């Protein structure tokens, strides 16, 4: 099983990361309305936790694919975004 990073909304000494983002931006709203756990459950059986280097997070891979389709970006541009 892939270990999940704990999400903490801990404030730093001066600001929180979410305060620096435009919370009215459509992608910010979309990212906070998607139930990312559904993708974790669906794709988890396809990941191996003890073979090779650690995989990229499922949320990153699904998010990049969604962004690619939302922006109508080709596969070549999509590969550059993953780097």
> What is the distance between the alpha carbons of residues 15 and 29, in angstroms, rounded to a whole number?
20
Higher pLDDT, 78 or 67: 67
31-68 residue pLDDT tens: 999 999 999 999 988 888 788 888 888 899 999 999 99
Q: How far apart are CA 51 and CA 43, in angstroms?
A: 16
pTM of the full predicted structure? 0.62
pLDDT at 21 over 90: no
pLDDT value for 5: 63
Q: Across residues 21-31, what is the average pLDDT?
A: 89
Distance separating the N- and C-terminal Cα atoms of the chain? 25
Both tokens of 19, joined, read 């305060």
Domain boundaries, the chain: 22-82
């Amino acid at each position: 099983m892939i270990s999940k990073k704990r999400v903490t909304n801990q404030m730093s000494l001066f600001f929180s990361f979410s305060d620096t983002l435009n919370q009215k931006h459509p992608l910010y709203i979309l990212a906070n309305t998607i139930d990312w756990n559904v993708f974790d459950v669906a794709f988890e059986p396809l990941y191996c936790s003890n073979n090779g280097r650690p995989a990229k997070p499922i949320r990153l891979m699904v998010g990049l694919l969604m962004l690619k389709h939302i922006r109508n970006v080709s596969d070549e541009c999509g590969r550059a975004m993953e780097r």
